[in-house]
Amino acid sequence: MRIHLTSVFVDDQDKALDFYTDTLGFVKKADVPVGEYRWLTVVSPDAPDGTELLLEPDAHHAVRPYKQALVADGIPAAAFAVDDVRAEYERLRALGVRFDQEPVEMGPVTIAVLDDTCGNLIQIVHSES
């Protein structure tokens, strides 16, 4: 069994697509109209046939309170692996990305937490193991 698709709830699919592609560096995989929204996925440029991230509208009545509670408690909605957290932190800050947590080393793991501009906290992580 493998993870094929996961999602992050976003408040604006166009804004999310811009952020996740132009800023974070993912590549658009699918963009299919579905009623007033779209089936909109991105993938890593290093794994175009790998796990897709669905930029899912947060229109369901339960989603926004859930997202707000996660952000209020500092809990990331997703975690993305990077080769060098500090270098990625510097690159993203230069692009104007706001971080809620600067890089922190915790044993063999380094993490940082950013605001995706779409209502979520996202963790970037590198593990030595």
All domains of the chain in start order, with CATH: 5-127 (3.10.180.10)
Q: What pLDDT shows up at residue 56? A: 98
Alpha-carbon gap, residue 17 to 22, rounded angstroms: 8
Q: What pLDDT shows up at residue 71? A: 97
CB-based contact 45:26 (threshold 8 Å)? yes
CB-based contact 20:35 (threshold 8 Å)? no
Of all residues in the chain, the percent with pLDDT exceeding 70 is 100
Taking only the tens place, the pLDDT of each residue in 78-117 is: 999 999 999 999 999 999 999 999 999 999 999 999 999 9
102 CB contacts (<8 Å, ≥6 apart)?
Answer: 89, 112
Residue 129 has pLDDT above 90, yes or no: no
Give the chain's mean pLDDT.
Answer: 97
Alpha-carbon gap, residue 29 to 124, rounded angstroms: 21
Mean pLDDT, to the nearest integer, of 37-57?
A: 97
CB-based contact 95:79 (threshold 8 Å)? no
Alpha-carbon gap, residue 117 to 120, rounded angstroms: 7
CB-based contact 7:53 (threshold 8 Å)? yes
Neighbours of 61 (CB within 10 A): 7
Q: What is the pTM of this model?
A: 0.95
Alpha-carbon gap, residue 114 to 67, rounded angstroms: 14
